[in-house]
Amino acid sequence: MNSDLSDATQALERAAASCRERGASLTAIRREVLALLYRTPKGIKAYDLLEQMRQTRGNASPPTVYRALDFLIEQGLAHKIGRMNLFVACRHGAHSSPSLFLVCPKCNGVTELEDPDMVTSLYASLAATGHRLDSPEVEISAVCPQCVAGREAA
Amino acid sequence: MNSDLSDATQALERAAASCRERGASLTAIRREVLALLYRTPKGIKAYDLLEQMRQTRGNASPPTVYRALDFLIEQGLAHKIGRMNLFVACRHGAHSSPSLFLVCPKCNGVTELEDPDMVTSLYASLAATGHRLDSPEVEISAVCPQCVAGREAA
DNA sequence: GCAGCGATGTTATAACATCGCATATCCGCC
DNA sequence: GGCGGATATGCGATGTTATAACATCGCTGC
């Protein structure tokens, strides 16, 4: 039972473990931020995150949030979506392959697309021009199914 | 002779013509902004653009620049690179297919990659998940050849 | 003239992100 | 136990990016 809750808890445990392996530590603040990211799969803005944080931690300030986010991104546990200034949790524990993020311009939601063929194809194109893919984030602006169907669903 | 200069001039003429076709007009301000974009193929930030603008147009303000940029983007003459808050001119007159931008995290440079196969593959993946590609901009963080070679070239 | 309209000017402010420095906390070491 | 360094946090100010809101200008058609 209690699927969501225990899923999130397990994910946090895994995240903590993977940090430990690297000699980093998932402190209380970072853990809270990561938990909030897990709770908002469509992505969340730094200042909305800050507002949430203040409910349990009244003295939270912008640096509190940004430092935690920077840490999580460094650890590969989260990503930043540049276009929308949105942050999302990474879906796969050890982002083995780069991720494609679909950012919906209508509702600002972010979903992650995993498509190995896509990634392979990308790599080939990049290699051909001498580029090297370095960040595991590929952002694509695309209208999400809800907004395609409902014409404004958020 | 005089390759660059006349190239830019020709590009501006083409841009003006394509605006006219749509009932839009490439005014002096917009033309200046576009010219500046042509001169900085690796992309430029809005406030740097503003600074440039002020040299010939002392009263330029943020909205001056942002409105011109919005217009150029609407007309498909420019793109915004979300991750870096960078603006670049579009390379192909009438962006028939979406563009792939390679953003170098080392030097912040932007290059545009045209790869029809890539785009086809992308479309297929998106369609499979119910998404619809709406913006002609796809940003990919990738180290550019110079930085791959030189280990910090900017 | 003057209404209508798109473009521009101008001021202020919203939204996003970082700096700099002081303090606290953890951990290994003596 | 106490010291010292590294890491994390608190906190205020500041820097950077973008838009809101409203006034004005200049053209075009009537």
CATH number at residue A123: 3.30.1490.190
Percent of chain A with pLDDT over 70: 77
Among A132-141, B19-28, B101-110, B118-127, name the one with the lowest average pLDDT.
A132-141
Give the confidence band of B60 by pLDDT, cuts at 50, 70, 90. very high
Single-letter amino acid, residue A154: A
Q: Using a 7 Å CB cut-off, which residues contact strand C?
A: A 45-47, 61-63, 66, 70, 80, 85; B 24-25, 27-30, 57, 59-64, 67-68, 71
| Protein-to-nucleotide distance from the CA of B109 to the C1' of D6, whole angstroms | 35
- The residue from A89, A108, A132 where one domain ends is A89
pLDDT in the model for residue A152: 42
DSSP string, chain B: --HHHHHHHHHHHHHHHHHHHTT----HHHHHHHHHHHH-TT-EEHHHHHHHHHHH-TT--HHHHHHHHHHHHHTTSEEEEGGGTEEEE-SSTT--S-EEEEE-TTT--EEEE--HHHHHHHHHHHHHTT-EEEEEEEEEEEE-HHHHHHSS--
Q: Is the pLDDT of residue B152 over 80?
A: no
User: Does A130 share its domain with A82?
Assistant: no
- Residue B154 in domain: no
- Residue A47 in domain: yes
**A104 marked among binding-site residues:** yes
- The residue from B38, B54, B89 where one domain ends is B89
Mean confidence (pLDDT) of chain B: 82
pLDDT in the model for residue A136: 59
pLDDT in the model for residue B37: 95
Q: Is the pLDDT of residue B128 over 80?
A: yes
> Taking the CB of residue B2, how many other CB atoms lie within 10 A of it?
7
User: Does B120 share its domain with B46?
Assistant: no
pTM score: 0.83
User: Does B60 share its domain with B103?
Assistant: no
pLDDT in the model for residue A54: 95
**B144 marked among binding-site residues:** yes
Q: Is the pLDDT of residue A31 over 60?
A: yes
**Closest among A57, A11, B104 to A68, alpha carbons compared:** A57
- Residue B94 in domain: no
Contact A103, A143 (CB under 8 A): no
Give the confidence band of B93 by pLDDT, cuts at 50, 70, 90. low
Structure tokens at B112: 């545009």
pLDDT in the model for residue B154: 38
A102 and chain B in contact, CB less than 8 A: yes
Mean confidence (pLDDT) of chain A: 82
The whole domain housing B107 covers 99-149
Report the Cα–Cα distance between both ends of chain A, in Å, rounded.
Answer: 30
- Residue A94 in domain: no
User: Does A103 share its domain with A80?
Assistant: no
- The residue from B89, B110, B132 where one domain ends is B89
Top pLDDT among A99 and B22 is at B22
Nearest nt to the CA of B86 via C1' is: D17
CATH number, domain containing residue B76 = 1.10.10.10
User: Does B73 share its domain with B14?
Assistant: yes
Burial class, B3, CB count within 10 angstroms (exposed 0-12 / middle 13-18 / buried 19+) = exposed
User: Does B19 share its domain with B85?
Assistant: yes
Top pLDDT among A99 and A58 is at A58
- How many domains does the structure of chain B reveal? 2
pLDDT in the model for residue B4: 64
- B-interface mutation test, from A114, A132, A151, A152, most B Cβ less than 10 A away: A132
Contact A34, A89 (CB under 8 A): yes
Q: Is the pLDDT of residue B2 over 60?
A: no
Residue nearest to nucleotide C25 (CA to C1'): A27
**A107 marked among binding-site residues:** yes
Tell me the per-residue pLDDT of B36-50, one tens digit each, with 9 for 90 and over. 999 998 899 999 999
pLDDT in the model for residue A37: 95
